[in-house]
Structures are given as structure tokens and as C-alpha cells.
Structure 1
Amino acid sequence: MTFTQAVTNFAKSLPGTDSYVNLRNAMQTLIKDDSANAAVYFLIFGFARTYVMLYEDQEVSPQFAEDNQKLMLSYLNTLNAALQKSNAAELYQAMNDVVVKYEESKKVF
């Protein structure tokens, strides 16, 4: 599995905790398989893990789930674009951008 495949799978999945479980598992695999980019995968792993922990036993509105899937996709797309460039400085900047955007968000995961 590649990061791009994980992004595509998440984008095609229904909003909800199952999609975050799959994303978390994909990031765990990528951490092992592509340790050069482990920090990227660990960042997303943490977001996905937190979402599952917070919402797996709670009923959330469809709008809440959709909004947060869109937010996660924005993070994933930012990181995926940087990974495609194979430039460490751009990847580092993309990670910083995601963290700053997260800090400015409602922090749902």
C-alpha cells in the first residue's frame, strides 16, 4: 500500500469510524514499510486513532462525519502532494501546514 492508495481508499469510504480504522491501519503499515517518511504517517495515524477513540461508541450526525472526513482529506491531500515531490523541505513544510491548520480547527481528532 502507498500513501496515495490510502488517501484514495479514505476518500472513497463512507464517513465514519470504520474509514478511520482503515486509515490508521494503513498508516501503521506504511510506518513499517517506508520508515523514511514515518513522521508523516505517524501524524495521520494519531489523528485517525484519536477519531476512533473519541467517536467509535458515540452516535454522530452525518454532517459531522462528512465535515471531518473532508477535513482529514484536506490534510491527506496536502501531505500526499508533498510526498509526490520527494523534497524533504517541502514535506516538512507540508507537515507544518497540517499541524497549523489542525491547531486552528475544532480539533475533533
Structure 2
Amino acid sequence: MTFSTVLNKFASSLPGTDTYVKLRQSMQTLIQEDPNNASVYFLVFGFARTYVMLYEDQEVSPQFAEDNQKLMLSYLHILDEALQKGDAASLYHALNRVVNEYENSKKVF
């Protein structure tokens, strides 16, 4: 399993908490399989976990679910690009970019 594979599965899945459960599980697997990049996977794991905790027992509008899936995808793309470059500086900058974008967002997960 690679981060890119997980990203593609997430992108092609229906928006909803089940998709975030799978994302969370995939991140747990990647933490074990690729400990050198565990901080990336743990960040995404935390986002997915929070989304499930907040919304699994709530009805959300399809638009809300789609908007949040797009937001998560934007973060995943930033991180995937850095992982593919394979250098620590790119990864560090990508992590900071995602955290800063998240901090300036509505923080839905």
C-alpha cells in the first residue's frame, strides 16, 4: 500500500464517514509499514478520526460531505506530492502548509 493508492481510493469513494474510517485504517497501516513518514500518516489519521467522531451519528448534507472530502483531498495531494519527492525538506514544508491551511479553515475535522 502506498499513500498515492490510498489517496486515489479516497478520491473515488463516496463522501461520508465510512470513507474516513477506511482512510484512518489505511493511515494506521502506513504508520506500521513506513515509519519514516509516520508524521504524515498520523496527521491524516487524526483528521480522519476526528471527522468520524464528529459526524458518524449525525446527518450531514451531501454538499457538506462533498466539500469536506474536497478539502481532505487538497491536503492529501499536498502531502502526496512531497512524499513522491522523497526529501525531508519538501515533506517538512508540506506538513507545515497543511497545518497552516487547516488552522485557517473552519476546522470541520
How many residues end up aligned between the 2 structures? Answer: 109
Q: 1:14 — aligned with what?
A: 14
Counterpart CA distance in 1 for 2:87 and 2:34 is 15
Counterpart CA distance in 2 for 1:87 and 1:36 is 11
Counterpart CA distance in 1 for 2:38 and 2:9 is 19
Q: CA deviation at 1:56?
A: 0.2
Relative to the length of structure 2, the TM-score reads: 0.99
Q: CA deviation at 1:90?
A: 0.6
Q: 2:35 — aligned with what?
A: 35
**Deviant stretches of 4+, over 6 Å:** none
Q: 1:89 — aligned with what?
A: 89
Counterpart CA distance in 1 for 2:19 and 2:77 is 16
Relative to the length of structure 1, the TM-score reads: 0.99
Q: 1:56 — aligned with what?
A: 56
Q: CA deviation at 1:19?
A: 0.6
Spell out, residue by residue over 1:23-56, the C-alpha distance to the aligned partner (whole angstroms, 9 max, x if none). 0000000000000000000000000000000000
Q: 1:73 — aligned with what?
A: 73
Q: 1:108 — aligned with what?
A: 108
Question: Which structure 1 segments of 5+ residues have no match?
Answer: none
- CA RMSD in angstroms comes to 0.3
Q: 1:24 — aligned with what?
A: 24
Q: CA deviation at 1:101?
A: 0.2
Spell out, residue by residue over 1:8-31, the C-alpha distance to the aligned partner (whole angstroms, 9 max, x if none). 000000000011000000000000
Counterpart CA distance in 2 for 1:62 and 1:80 is 26
Three-state SS of the structure 1 residue aligned to 2:57 is coil
Counterpart CA distance in 2 for 1:18 and 1:92 is 29
Question: Which structure 2 segments of 5+ residues have no match?
Answer: none
